[in-house]
């Protein structure tokens, strides 16, 4: 049994990675961490593990390497698609994956590193993948504004009921839109949709911008509602 500590600030990536690893009977996730300090604590608590962490956490590499050596663990980094695998290997990581790595590559990497071997992509990337950008741009352009708002909220981890409430519609309407979105993106469920979006930089950026607009609109409405309540409660002199 290979013990795995999973660390990523993106909850949807943790969920997607856990779903993939859970399909292999030899892999067992013993801790999920959302930040560096929780990851460091887990390394101390669960020695002899494969630590699968996202590069965006930006741990102090000297500290991480020392902690891994002390507790007999090995690190696999999930790098951004534009980063170099060689640099992480030189810093002591035993495996490197990219955000757009396949499920089979993820499992193979963790299994090999857990067995004491090293693993890195056959081909490193020196810049953003043009194919990924082209796919992301094509899907972005096919989605309607309403569909993009739904995608943005899916990436935030919202369920259908919450999306319906935030977009002032019904759950059935959201389900209907999701069927159209799945057809346009070629995915089968909301988790695959979120991962697909985050894997494609252009689409992820568009979803983030829409999500920020939704949040700003809600803050404005909340402020206006509070102002109206205060005005209603002011008694005439």
Q: Where in the chain is the domain with CATH 1.10.10.10?
A: 130-233
Task: Tell me the C-alpha to C-alpha distance, in Å, between residue 187 and each of 91, 121, 184.
Answer: 36, 24, 8
Say how many residues make up the chain: 237
Position 181 scores a pLDDT of 96
Position 230 scores a pLDDT of 67
What 17-23 contacts at long range (C-beta under 8 Å, 24+ apart), as own/partner pairs, is 17/52, 17/78, 17/106, 19/191, 20/103, 20/106, 20/107, 21/106, 21/107, 21/110, 23/107
Using DSSP's 3-state secondary structure scheme, residue 151 falls into: helix
Q: What is the CATH number of domain 130-233?
A: 1.10.10.10
* Among the four given CATH numbers 3.40.50.1370, 3.40.50.1860, 3.40.50.2300, 1.20.1260.10, the one describing domain 2-114: 3.40.50.2300
Mean pLDDT by 10 residues, the chain (237 residues): 93 83 91 96 97 94 96 93 84 89 87 94 50 80 96 90 95 96 92 84 87 89 73 58
Q: Whole-angstrom Cα distance, residue 37 to residue 190?
A: 30
Say what the alpha-carbon torsion angle 146, 152, 157, 160 is, to the nearest 10 degrees.
0
Position 130 scores a pLDDT of 43
Q: Where in the chain is the domain with CATH 3.40.50.2300?
A: 2-114
Using DSSP's 3-state secondary structure scheme, residue 51 falls into: strand
User: Which pTM was predicted?
Assistant: 0.70
Q: pLDDT by residue (tens digit) across 4-34? A: 999 998 887 888 888 888 888 999 999 999 9
């Amino acid at each position: 049994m290979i013990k795995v500590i999973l660390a990523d600030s993106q909850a949807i990536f943790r969920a997607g990675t856990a779903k993939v690893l859970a399909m292999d009977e030899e892999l067992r996730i013993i801790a999920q961490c959302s930040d560096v300090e929780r990851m460091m604590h887990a390394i101390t608590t669960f020695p002899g593990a494969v630590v699968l962490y996202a590069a965006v956490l930006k741990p102090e590499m000297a500290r991480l390497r020392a902690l891994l050596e002390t507790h007999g663990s090995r690190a696999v980094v999930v790098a951004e698609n534009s980063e170099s695998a060689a640099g992480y290997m030189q810093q002591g990581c035993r495996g490197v994956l990219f955000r757009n790595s396949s499920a089979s590559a993820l499992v193979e990497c963790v299994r090999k590193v857990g067995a004491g071997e090293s693993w890195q992509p056959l081909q490193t990337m020196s810049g953003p993948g043009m194919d990924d950008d082209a796919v992301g741009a094509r899907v972005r352009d096919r989605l309607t504004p309403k569909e993009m708002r739904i995608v943005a909220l899916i990436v935030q981890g919202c369920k259908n009921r919450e999306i319906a409430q935030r977009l002032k519609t019904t759950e059935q309407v959201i389900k209907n839109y999701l069927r159209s979105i799945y057809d346009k993106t070629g995915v089968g469920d909301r988790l695959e949709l979120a991962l697909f979006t985050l894997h494609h930089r252009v689409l992820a950026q568009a979803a983030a911008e829409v999500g920020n607009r939704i949040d700003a609109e809600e803050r404005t409405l909340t402020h206006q509602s509070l102002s109206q309540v205060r005005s209603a409660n002011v008694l005439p002199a």
